[in-house]
Amino acid sequence: MGSNKVPLREGIYYNSVYSCLECPAGEIHLTPNEKKMLGIILDGRGKKDTLIEEIWHQQGVIVSESSYHQLVKMLRRKFVAAGLPPSCLKTISRYGIVFVSESDPKENENSALCDINLSLHDGTVQKDKDANSQRQQEMESVEVRGLVMPFSLAGNDAKPHSASLSSLLKYQRELPSIKVSYTVSAGLFLFSILFVLLILTGYHGDEYFTKIKKIDRVSYYTSPTAKMSELLWQRIEHKVMPVTTNVYIASNGPKFWIAYCENSIYKENVPCTYEHFSAY
């Protein structure tokens, strides 16, 4: 701009020194970004990319196009406050914004509708952000239900029932909630269940697990194939929770499956938590 005071319409000026629009009603002050945008537009460089680059990117600020449209809306409101029609800032498709001294009444209506749409859009975006934030918090504080053996044994002579996927899901919904890491994989749970069903097939009740020892109120049982070292015992005993009364240990070579249960694993709907690891 060649002058510090640019006439916009009769009796209305843009004063770059005082960052305001001067009009008969007084001075309408502009924010720093509004001043930058208006100055660039009056210089004939109102391309959208240019406005975004010089107003934000050169300051190290990365913004979306919504910030650009919001600033245009605010500048048009300042024009209206100064007695100028909003269509003086004319939007050119696939270009940006230009200043025109003679406004079109239809353009004024479009500008007003644009402001309404932008307000609605801003509200929708904020609601989406709030919803995403809430979902994220729910994920971070997720509670995974305690795992229960998907079979029940009425007595020592009973055999485990075969479990379908629907029955597993039914049991999982009925379990009491305990807090565990949300990184526990559902695949690990299914693998553990299948492993237990396989090793118990063909055995009757307590015939499979043998009671090895009892420490305080916790009884420890192992499968016939489980070969335990002192380090493994220490690891398992360290994981026992206050509600645990029975610990069941099975192995397939170096791979171990552990069930920490609040009662006998052969009773119906007994809450258990499971651990699966390799001894290597």
pLDDT tens-digit profile, the chain (280 residues): 446 789 988 889 999 899 999 999 889 999 999 999 999 999 999 999 999 999 999 888 888 888 999 999 999 999 999 998 988 899 998 899 999 877 555 554 554 444 444 444 445 445 554 555 555 544 443 433 333 443 333 344 434 343 444 444 444 444 444 444 444 455 555 555 555 555 554 444 445 788 889 998 999 999 887 888 888 899 899 989 999 999 999 888 888 889 999 998 888 888 998 888 887 6
Q: Of 135, 155, 176, which residue constitutes the final position of a domain?
A: 135
Instruction: Please tell me whether residues 20 and 126 are part of one structural domain.
Output: yes
Q: Give kind and range of the element (H or E) at residue 120.
A: helix 105-140
What's the token pair of residue 3? 């002058």
Instruction: Please tell me whether residues 131 and 183 are part of one structural domain.
Output: no
Q: Checking DSSP bridges between strand 26-29 and strand 271-278, what pairing results, if any?
A: unpaired
What's the token pair of residue 219? 């009884």
- The residues near 59 (Cβ < 8 Å, ≥ 6 apart) are none
Split into its structural domains, the chain has a count of 2
Q: What is the dihedral of CA 219, 223, 229, 231, to 10 degrees?
A: -50
Instruction: Please tell me whether residues 130 and 241 are part of one structural domain.
Output: no
Q: Which domain holds residue 47?
A: 5-135
Q: Of 135, 169, 189, which residue constitutes the final position of a domain?
A: 135
CA gyration radius for the chain? Answer: 36
In a domain, residue 270? The reply is: yes
| Tokens 């015992």 belong to residue | 233
Contact yes or no for 247/260 (Cβ under 8 A)? yes
Instruction: Please tell me whether residues 176 and 249 are part of one structural domain.
Output: yes
Query: Coil, strand, or helix at residue 14?
Result: strand
Q: Which of 2, 88, 5 is nearest to 46 (CA)?
A: 88
Looking at residue 251, its pLDDT comes to 84
In a domain, residue 142? The reply is: no
Task: Report angle CA 226, 228, 233 to the nearest 5 degrees.
Answer: 125
Looking at residue 141, its pLDDT comes to 39
Instruction: Please tell me whether residues 151 and 42 are part of one structural domain.
Output: no
Instruction: Please tell me whether residues 93 and 25 are part of one structural domain.
Output: yes
Q: Which of 46, 48, 54, 49 is nearest to 100 (CA)?
A: 46
